Chain A
Amino acid sequence: MTAPVATGAAGFLARYEGLKDHLPGARKPWLNALRADAAVHFAARGFPTRRIEQWKYTDLAPVAQASFAEPLTMVEGAIALPVANAAHRAVFVDGRFRSDLSTLDGLAYRVGSLAQDLNAAEPFLGALAKPGSEPLVALNTMLFEDGILIDLPEGVDGGLLELVSIAVDPGRPFAFHPRHLVRLGAGARLTVIETATGRGQCLHNPVFEIEVAEGATFTHGRMLQEEATVFHLSTIYATIAAGGTYDNFTVAAGPRLTRNEIHAALTGPKAACHMNGAQMAADGQHVDTTTALDHAAPDCASRQTYKTVLAGRSRGVFQGKIFVHQVAQKTDGYQMNQALLLSEDAEIDSKPQLEIYADDVKCSHGATVGALDADSLFYLRSRGIPESQAKAMLVEAFLHEAVETVTDETLRAALTRALDNWWSRQGKAA
């Protein structure tokens, strides 16, 4: 019997069969083997369905049923770029690196197109995000054409780098699956501000593999701001070694469907992971943040605070799993998920999950769901502030609280702009 998902996957598999001799690295046996392995996994599993535990609340049927099989052609010419947040930026259009739009000169570390530097990628590609792990990782591995490769040597402070992804509407459904590799050597530091914009019937399916070595710090700010026709399904795999820190802050506001899935493993003592974010959806949209934190070493700390704002008939999902291994004594884990529902038709599903096998740990989680506070609203109105403006102030306050913990000022300003942009567009409709 053929499961219905297999039909959705069939287009991508056919595309892989047709393209496999032309994909980047087609003459590299290690990569061919990796892609072939991914194709086997994807053929077997297809797109995840809601029968699968981690996909219970997010239905990929619209993605699985669409036909994105058209091969990409290179977009030429001028592209409107978002406002720059940093001096150095890597720009990808439809998933392909555009050196003409990027400014990477003078950087003291390896950074650029993955497709043009596959030999450097060989030891890491597929090491964290294994083809057999998630169907979307398999799909990405099978078909990725490019992505960013960042390799910071030991002790280097890479400063601030922007990663820009732009999807240009070719007038028909299309998909791209960028593969991004980020590696920080011991004691290295880097802040990446990532912006995804785009339009059209499009599937953006990026996979990140992030390796943070001893004592290194990677700050990763993400703004997923594509238009409401776009499906954004991103998967991040990160490992953080002893004394290292991975700091992820994601604003998801725009696409028709967003899945922000993060797997982080704390593998050495005193490693830290902060995963925070704000996700918003308006009428007809769906946002999903799914995290899996693996405490695999003692004395590690993890912090997660996610805020969700839902307007109109929209749906939000937060699933957060914290797994504490037996060796991970003195684990300090915290998870908070707060949702603000601006309409009676909005729905949030929240699923915290703690699995703890060590006995000396501190782990807490909490969730709040509610409408705007009536007392707060009355207080503002009693001062002469009109109701709609008072509501807007309270929503902004809720969202701005989410970014208060972001210490990098450039990043915080960019994230705040992303939040305000969404609200100024949606607030009027709400």
Chain B
Amino acid sequence: MLRIEGLTAEIDGKQILKGIDLDVPTGEVHAIMGPNGSGKSTLSYVLSGREGYEVTGGSATFNGHDILAMEPEERAAAGLFLAFQYPVELPGVGNATFLRTALNAQRKARGESELDAMQFLKLARERMKALSMSDDMLKRGVNVGFSGGEKKRNEILQMALLKPSLAILDETDSGLDIDALKIVADGVNAMRGPDFSALVITHYQRLLDYIVPDRVHVLMHGRIVKSGGPELAQELEAQGYAAVQAAA
């Protein structure tokens, strides 16, 4: 599914990723934990194709494709999804229009038929209900005036509609209260299955009580310094990153 080998990347000439090796097999959920500034968001942006990040070495393949060579929209159509740590507000772009345009763009890229407004609304309302989102969030501008929690739920709604085969969730738990956290976790768990993988980025173990990962990786200073089973998350919580790194 996702295979990253020796990936190095820099921003403005400053090296941030210093050789990442990571394998996420189909059907598995992996967590990446690490302190602030360790390069977690950088990794998610590099994988989704944001401008300004220069890949200086290594590779990343997704279902056998060299995704680093693809445009962001091509990566999305190939099944990659990034839930942003800081979802972007788009004043003047209606949320419903945005969601439908995205869904249809991907369906079109995959040679599937596009959904009309009615079909889309039916589908969106269904998914929103599961995420306890009110209908008026469809009418507003994308993320405009949304609370922190609403923005995160809107990310999960996009994931639920776009049905990616690999989702990268960048600190989707930050700023969520426990109820919202459960809703988000349910949203992710509902997607789990043999054809879905996820990379759950967080620096709290809390989320991983609800989305139990198959593997946990610790990212520090642009490198994966330790990998292990779900128990590694508890270990980190108890001992802190420094201790884990020292032991690694």
Using a CB–CB distance below 8 Å, which chain A residues touch chain B? 374-376, 378-387, 389-390, 393-394, 396-398, 400-401, 404
**Contact call B90/A384, Cβ cutoff below 8 A:** no
Q: Name the distance in Å between A292's Cβ and chain B's nearest Cβ.
A: 29
User: A400–B97 Cα gap in the complex (Å)?
Assistant: 13
Shortest B92–chain A CB gap in Å is 3
A-B contact pairs, 24 of them (CB 8 A): A378-B51, A378-B72, A378-B88, A379-B87, A379-B88, A380-B102, A381-B71, A382-B50, A382-B73, A382-B75, A382-B81, A383-B73, A383-B105, A383-B106, A384-B76, A385-B101, A385-B105, A393-B98, A396-B92, A397-B90, A397-B91, A401-B91, A401-B92, A404-B92
Q: Is B93's CB under 8 angstroms from A393's CB?
A: yes
CB-CB nearest 3 A-B residue pairs: A397-B92, A384-B76, A383-B102
CA separation between A380 and B81, bound complex, in Å? 12
- The answer to whether B106 touches A400, judged by C-beta atoms less than 8 angstroms apart, is no
Given A393-B93, A397-B91, A397-B93, A386-B51 contact (CB < 8 Å): no
Whether A387 touches B73, Cβ cut-off 8 Å, given contacts A374-B51, A396-B92, A400-B92, is yes
Q: Interface 1/0s, chain B 176-191, versus A by CB < 8 A?
A: 0000000000000000
User: Nearest chain A CB to B107's CB is how many angstroms away?
Assistant: 9
Contact of B73 among A375, A381, A404 (CB under 8 A): A381
User: Is B84 engaged at the interface, CB distance under 8 Å to the other chain?
Assistant: yes
Q: How far is the CA of A348 from the CA of B76 in the complex (A)?
A: 36
CB of A344, distance to nearest CB on chain B (Å): 17
Tell me whether A384 and B109 are in contact in the complex, defined as CB-CB below 8 angstroms, given that A379-B88, A400-B92 are known contacts: yes
Bound complex: CA of A398 vs CA of B106, how far in Å? 24
Closest residue of B by beta carbon distance from A385? B105
Since A378-B51, A394-B90 are in contact, a sample of 14 more A-B pairs with Cβ atoms closer than 8 Å, ordered by chain A residue number, is A378-B49, A378-B88, A380-B90, A381-B71, A382-B82, A383-B73, A383-B98, A383-B158, A385-B101, A387-B73, A389-B101, A393-B93, A393-B101, A397-B92
Shortest Cβ distance from B78 into A: residue: A384
Determine which of B73, B92, B93 lies in contact with A384 in the assembled complex, contact meaning CB atoms within 8 Å. B73
A401 to B89, CA, bound (A): 14
B200 interface contact, C-beta 8 A: no
* Cβ-closest chain A residue relative to B82: A382
Is A379 a contact partner of B84 (Cβ separation < 8 A)? yes
Residue of B nearest to A402 (CB): B92
Q: Is the interface of A mostly helix, strand, loop or mixed?
A: helix
B residues neighboring A (CB under 8 Å): 48-51, 71-73, 75-77, 81-82, 84, 87-88, 90-93, 97-98, 101-102, 105-106, 109, 141, 158, 162
B90 & A385 in contact (Cβ 8 Å cutoff): no
Question: With the chains together, A393 CA to B199 CA distance in Å?
Answer: 30
Distance of A387 Cα from B74 Cα, bound (Å): 10
- Separation in Å of the A306 CB from the closest CB of chain B? 16
Q: Whole-angstrom distance from the CB of A270 to the nearest CB of chain B?
A: 31
- Give the residues in chain B near A404, CB-CB below 8 Å: 92
Bound Cα distance from A379 to B91, whole angstroms: 13
Inter-subunit contact B105/A389 (CB<8 Å): yes
Give chain B residues whose Cβ lies under 8 Å from the Cβ of A393.
93, 97-98, 101
Residues of chain B contacted by A389 (CB below 8 angstroms): 101, 105
Q: CA–CA, A386 to B92, complex, Å?
A: 19
Q: Chain B residues with Cβ under 8 A from A374's Cβ?
A: 51
The chain B residue with its CB closest to the CB of A375 is B88
What's the least CB distance linking A386 to chain B, in Å? 5
Which A residue sits closest to B83, measured CB to CB? Answer: A382
Most B CB contacts (10 A, CB to CB) among A374, A383, A385, A389 go to A383
Cβ-defined contact, A381 with B72, below 8 A: yes
User: Which single residue of chain A is at the shortest CB-CB distance from B89?
Assistant: A376
Q: Chain B residues near A390: list those with CB within 8 A.
A: 73
